[in-house]
Amino acid sequence: MNRSAHTSRNNQNVAQAIGAVVHSAVCHGLAIGRAVKIGAVRGVVIGYNIARDGNFPGTRYPLLVKTELGVAKFGLDEVKPA
């Protein structure tokens, strides 16, 4: 397999993994517009993190949540429906 085909397959696998995590978030009631709590801080899910690389990839931190402290990325285990 050449390098280009390997990269393409890897990108496809990561995209599928992010899609699965986002689907799981929605199934757990964490859809866009949903009020949530992160500990004692309240927020609203405003989107999903589809980043493939970096310190906060979408596979680990799929939720974008707006709170009074700003917008941040969170994992499914950090956020509860409010």
Break the chain into its structural domains and give their ranges. 3-81
How far are the Cα atoms of 3, 11, 15, 61, 63 from residue 50, in angstroms, in the given order?
A: 23, 12, 8, 9, 9
The answer to whether the Cα torsion of 64, 14, 60, 53 is positive or negative is negative
Report the chain (82 residues): mean pLDDT per 10 consecutive residues. Answer: 70 90 94 97 96 92 97 96 94
CB atoms within 10 A of CB 13: 10
pLDDT score of 6: 66
Q: Name the architecture of domain 3-81.
A: Roll (2.30)
Report the predicted TM-score, pTM, of the whole model to 2 decimal places: 0.84
